[in-house]
Amino acid sequence: MRHIRKPEMDKKIKLIYLILILTLNFSCVEKKSTEKETDSPELVATSKTNTLKFTSAIRAIFQDSKGNYWIGSHNEGVSFYNGESFNYFTINEGLSDNQIRSIQEDENGKIWFGTANGISVYDQGRFTNYPSKNNNLLFDWDKTRGNLWFYAWEEDGINRFDGTNMNYLIFPKPKNKKPNTSYGVTGISKDKDGKVWIATYAALYSYDDKMVNIFDAEKLNLKDNEQLHIRSVLADSKGRIWIGNNGIGVLLMEGNSTINFSEKNKLIHPTSTRKGDNKSQPGTLEHPFAIEEDSEGNIWFGDVYTGAWKYDGKTFKNYAVSDNPSKPMIWTIYKDNKNNLLFGMADGNIFKFNGKTFEKQF
C-alpha cells in the first residue's frame, strides 16, 4: 500500500473543499434564478426622441421621486422622460411585455411595471422580471405584507410583493357567481386608512390586512338588467369609493350605501343598452375607464366616448380633451408631483388641464 505524504494529503483536502464551495455557490445561484428571471445586461434605450413618439394608447403615467416621467403605452413599451428627451424601453431591453398597465416606485427608488404578461422592476439600468403567476399561491392574504400590488393578466388573483417574494393572492369568489364571469383586475386604489380596493370585471374587493370583503352585483345594488363590468376604482380623500362600470356609468359607495351616480344625475341615455356594447351619446357618462381626484377635491372621470367630466360636489362640467374625434378615449388620469392633472389618450398623446382648457403636454 502506498502511503500518501502529508503535503499531498493537504492538497487533496484543499481540492475537495474548493469543489464543495463551488458546488454550493452554483446551487444557490440556481435556486435564486427560479425565483425571478435573471437580470438583463446594462440597458441602452432603443431610441431617443425630443417628442413622445407613441401612437398606441397611453395606459399609465408616473412621475418618480426625482421628477422624471415614466409613460406606459398600450403595445409599445415604456418611455422615460428626464425633462430633455424621451428614451424608450421594450421587451428587447428586458421588459416582460410591451403593454404597460401600471407604474409605481418603491421606497428604494426602484420603478415597477405591471404589464400584460408579468411584472418588471427597473433598478440602476437593469430589468428584473417576475411571472404573472408563480408558485407562491396564497388563499390566506393576511400571511403576506407589502405595499406593492400588481395586476398582470392572470384572472383569478392579484400579485403582492413583500420585499423578497412575489406572492399571488387568490380571490375569494362570490357564492352567486356565474360560470363565465371574469375576475381580471382592472384597477387598484388605496384609501386614507390604508385599505386596498381592487376592481375586477365581476366584483370589487377591499382588503385591510386582515379581511377580504367582496362587493358583487347584489351588494352594489345593480338592477336585474344590469351587469358588473368594472373598469376603474378610486378611493377619494373623503372616504368615498367611486366605481367606473362599463355600460352603467359611475357607482358611488358611501358607507353602507351604494347608488348609480350616473343615473341619479341623468347621465345615462334612455336608449342605452347598459351593457357597454353601444357608443355613448353626447352628454352621457356611461363608460368611465379612468377616475382621479384633483388637489381641490374635484372628482374627474374619463369616458371612452364623451371626454372628461369634472364633478365639484354639486355640478358637472364636460370637456372634450382631444381634437382627434376618432380616438376620444381617455385611458388614464394622473396627478403628478406638482398637482398637474394629466390625461393619457387613446391616440398616444398626453394633455394637461391648465384650470380652464386642455393643452398638449407630451
- Mean pLDDT for all residues in the chain: 86
Distance between CA atoms of residues 262 and 123, nearest Å: 43
Confidence check: pLDDT of 14 > 70: no
Percent of the chain whose predicted confidence (pLDDT) is above 90:
70
Overall average pLDDT of the 324-331 stretch: 86
Determine the pLDDT at residue 63. Answer: 98
Overall average pLDDT of the 103-109 stretch: 96
Neighbour count for residue 119 (Cβ, 10 Å)? 26
Cβ within 8 Å of residue 297, ≥6 positions away: 236, 237, 238, 313
What confidence category does residue 22 fall into, taking pLDDT thresholds of 50, 70 and 90?
very low
What confidence category does residue 151 fall into, taking pLDDT thresholds of 50, 70 and 90?
confident
Determine the pLDDT at residue 53. Answer: 94
Overall average pLDDT of the 280-295 stretch: 95
Determine the pLDDT at residue 176. Answer: 67
Overall average pLDDT of the 244-249 stretch: 95
- Higher-pLDDT residue of 4, 288: 288
Specify the pTM: 0.85
Strand partners, 206: 197, 213
Overall average pLDDT of the 92-98 stretch: 94
Overall average pLDDT of the 216-234 stretch: 91
Percent of the chain whose predicted confidence (pLDDT) is above 70:
85
Neighbour count for residue 123 (Cβ, 10 Å)? 14
What confidence category does residue 11 fall into, taking pLDDT thresholds of 50, 70 and 90?
very low
Overall average pLDDT of the 321-337 stretch: 90
Confidence check: pLDDT of 320 > 60: yes
- Contact call for residues 96 and 120 (beta carbons, < 8 A): yes
Determine the pLDDT at residue 180. Answer: 62
Determine the pLDDT at residue 178. Answer: 67
Cβ within 8 Å of residue 98, ≥6 positions away: 73, 75, 76, 77, 90, 91, 115
State pLDDT tens for residues 179-203: 667 899 999 999 999 999 999 999 9
| 72-81, 171-180, 258-267: least confident range | 171-180
HEC per residue, 174-243? CCCCCCCCCCCEEEEEECCCCCEEEEECCCEEEECCCCEEEECCCCCCCCCCCCCCEEEEEECCCCCEEE
Determine the pLDDT at residue 137. Answer: 85
Determine the pLDDT at residue 46. Answer: 63
State pLDDT tens for residues 270-280: 988 888 777 88
Distance between CA atoms of residues 234 and 290, nearest Å: 9
State pLDDT tens for residues 26-70: 333 333 333 454 344 445 556 788 899 999 999 999 999 999 999
Overall average pLDDT of the 319-330 stretch: 86
Overall average pLDDT of the 318-344 stretch: 92
